[in-house]
Every structure is written in C-alpha cells, then in structure tokens.
Structure 1
Amino acid sequence: MAQGEAFLKTYGALAQVTSLHRHAVPSRAEQEGPERAANSGRFDPSLALPLDWFARPTLEVARTLLGTILVSVVAGELVAGVLVEVEAYGGPEDPASHAARYRNGLVRAMWGPPGHAYVYRAYGMYPCFNVVTEPEGRAGAVLLRAAAPLIGLDVMRARRRAMRSGQYLLPDERLASGPGALALAFGIGLEHNGLPLDRPPIWLQPGEPPERVLCTPRIGISRGEHLRWRFVLADHPAVSRRVRVE
C-alpha cells in the first residue's frame, strides 16, 4: 500500500472514533483502566505516524501536528492527549534555535533522523520535548507546548504534583499546558532523547484536523521574536498562553 494511502486509511479509522476539538468523554474501556484502553485499539502504536511523515519543512510539520494524538507508555502507565500548541524551530539560520549555537550533545538529535525525539532541560529543571523534522542532515524541530488530556489524567496529576509545592489541584486542561508541564505529564525525560516516535514508549497518532489555527510569535525567546512560528488551536482552554484576537 502506498504511504499516502496508508496514512489516509489510518486517519479515517481514528477520525471515526472521537472528535478531539474539545473535551472528549473517556470510553468505558478507558474508565476501567489503561490496559483495557490499550486493548480497545484507540491508542495503538500500529496507528503511529510514520517517521518519514516528519521529513518535511518544519513549519509544515508544526502546523499539521495540531490535532494529532500524543501517546506515551512510561513505567507501565498509558497517557494520551491531543496537541493544541506547538512551536517551530529551524536550523542554524533561526537565531532562536539551539541549532544556531550548538551541534554536539543533546542538540545533535536536531539533525535527524526525522520523527525522533529531541529532549532538553530548560532552566536546568524541566524537560522539554521536541519532534525532529526535515530530511536527515538538516536541522529542525517542533517543540510540543501543550496537549489536552484524553486518558491517564490521574497519572499526569501525580507526575505534576511531584514537581510542585502545595496542594493546589490543577484543572484537567492545565495538566499538560506548557512545554515543561507536557513533558512531565507524559513521563518524558532526557533518557528519551533520540528515540524514534513511531513505537512505544512514545508515539503520535493522526487526529482530527483543527477548525481554526492561530499563528503567533514564539514565547520566552530573545532572538527571532518577529517570526510567527507558534501554532495554537484557537480558544482551546489547554493552550499555555491565550491568544488575544484583535
């Protein structure tokens, strides 16, 4: 079967299962536990986007990642959520990209192969999870900034609580809101740097295309601020920083 036909078949099968624009209602299998949910076929690595799907221009991948489903099975815990906010980072020509300053260490993952993880630690504390893009040998990555939880909310909350002080109960939609929060909620750390993202423990499945996407400047950078390379689902409560529409 041609790659495009396989993608369409996978996408069509998943699109019939659920609408992902807002808060999806967990199925009976999901309510009864992660093992039952995994066996239900809704979160299945056989549905994962193929690695060559990511071997495209970074901005194109970033835009089309919105609405896809991020799934992780770390320490035996299944969690999943819909991507609602991402940022694109290019190669050495992008002044805000790690690839503009470094080539060795963890950053080497940015040069490929595509469809692999690039994980770094922000401020020496929180892991940040990126998906590598572009054909191998050309640097590029998409930072996953926020996801709307679908399953494993109790696991996400426990992982977030372990890194927080106080007993404030996070709303469900904030459990994976922000790049550090997303990585923590999904159990993603530096040990996952360079891993392929088409199989366990971490993969991405096709989702339902968003109805409305907004482009804004990236957040928390001091270079390349003029580039509108942050993509968000308009008005979604899980977005890390709301977008004011003029």
Structure 2
Amino acid sequence: MKPPPRLQRDFYRRDPVTVARALLGQRLVHVSQGVRVAGLIVETEAYLGHIDKAAHSFNGRKTQRTQTMFADGGTAYVFLNYGIHHLLNIVVAGVEQPLAVLLRAVEPTEGLDAMYQRRSKSKKDTDLCSGPGKLGAAFGIDLSHDGVDLVENRSLFVEQLRQRAMPKRLIETTTRVGVDYAEEWAAAPLRFYLKGNQHVSVR
C-alpha cells in the first residue's frame, strides 16, 4: 500500500491558528535507527510571534535559541523546557515571520514498544504522548532535530491523512497551558484539541 503523502510547504505557509487546526488528525512520524514511531496529532497550540507575549519571538526577539522560528514554514523548532523536556514545534508562515505551532499531544499508532522504552514510567497508551514533554520523549526528539525541514527530511515529518481540517464541531478551542506570565495573552483561545480524545494533555 502506498504511504500517504507528506504535508507540503504550502500547508505550513499559513497563519498559526489555521495550521494548528489543520494539523489535528494528521500523522506525526519519526524514524530512528530503522524504527518508525507515529501517531495522530490530537492537540496543538498556536503562537503568534511579535504580538504574542507567550511566544519566544515576542517583540521580534531573535536569539541563538529562537533563530529557528525565523525559518520557512515547515521547519521543526525544538527547545529544551526547564532543562528536561524537548518540545517539538513547527514553524509556520514564511521566512522572517516567527510564528509557530506547538505539538502538545499525539495518539500513538505505531512503534508503541519503542515509545514505552523511551518512557518507562508510562503504564498505559493514553499516558505516552499526552503532553508536549511526553510526546518529545516518546518520539525520541532532541535538540538535534531543531531546524529540521519537515517537508524534505526522511526521518521526521508529518503525513497527510486529511485533505481538509477537522470540522469545528469536533475541535475544542480553549486557552494555552503554562502561559500565565503572558498577561492578557494568557487568556487567548489558542489551544485546540479533538473533543473526546483520551490522549490530550488537559481538558
């Protein structure tokens, strides 16, 4: 059976809210040492760059850590959170537009044995990737993946399972997690997840 196509550049060269919604139901894939792990993206957050006080690129802030956010849409932006967790984001829009979508949760579908090896504390499937830190660990994501082109790379990419975004009635829209410092932006409805899905991080 022919594998589904990967998401292409045009998919990512859109605003973060549109991409965050459209990523729901698509399949994240990472192949490492011949082992493929994959899962359906079920929760995302949008970050709106210059104007967004929760974004690393707020006010156009460009540092060694955030420079990847200024790359083209479809580039992986990985950072280390609290010195422990590797969080996988996808840069969207175009070059020098530091906008991104954080992948918060995935429903595992392939390579669960490898995921359990990487996350030995997990005892059930719904706990493997139900949060951005868990997702990063289960998928074997680290800082070496920062700057990877998800359109061209052969080991880390997103497969297109849906031509259109999920209907709005199937998507819960709410506030982002862990951004209380962002003042009025803490209340922005920029987190999206599939209603009723058991693999999301927070309901």
Decide: shared fold, TM above 0.5. yes
1:146/1:182 contact within 8 Å kept: yes
| 1:170 corresponds to 2:128 | no
Once the two structures are superposed, residues 186-205 of structure 1 have per-residue CA deviations (whole angstroms, 9 ceiling, x without a partner) of: 11110000010023210101
| % same residue | 37
Q: What letter is aligned with 1:60?
A: T
Once the two structures are superposed, residues 36-59 of structure 1 have per-residue CA deviations (whole angstroms, 9 ceiling, x without a partner) of: xxxx544x6xx1111232011111
2:36/2:110 contact within 8 Å kept: yes
Q: What letter is aligned with 2:177?
A: I
2:21/2:166 contact within 8 Å kept: no
Unaligned runs of 5+ in 1: 1-39
Q: How does 1:130-149 map to 2 (within 5 A)?
A: 130-149=89-108
Q: How many equivalent pairs are there?
A: 194
CA 1:156/1:130 → structure 2, altered by over 3 Å: closer, same or farther? same
| 1:241 corresponds to 2:202 | yes
Q: How does 1:10-159 map to 2 (within 5 A)?
A: 40-42=1-3, 47-100=5-58, 102-159=61-118
Question: RMSD of the TM alignment (CA)?
Answer: 1.4
Q: What letter is aligned with 1:170?
A: K
User: Residues of 2 paired with 1:41 and 1:66: CA distance?
Assistant: 22
Once the two structures are superposed, residues 62-110 of structure 1 have per-residue CA deviations (whole angstroms, 9 ceiling, x without a partner) of: 1111000000102321001000000001112100000016312121111
User: Residues of 2 paired with 1:174 and 1:41: CA distance?
Assistant: 30
Which structure is larger by alpha-carbon Rg, 1 or 2? 1
2:73/2:95 contact within 8 Å kept: yes
1:193 maps to 146
2:132 maps to 179
User: Residues of 1 paired with 2:23 and 2:118: CA distance?
Assistant: 24
Could you say what secondary structure the match of 1:225 adopts?
helix
Once the two structures are superposed, residues 160-206 of structure 1 have per-residue CA deviations (whole angstroms, 9 ceiling, x without a partner) of: 12xx4xxxx52112211100111111111100000100232101011
Once the two structures are superposed, residues 95-135 of structure 1 have per-residue CA deviations (whole angstroms, 9 ceiling, x without a partner) of: 00000163121211111211010000111111000000011
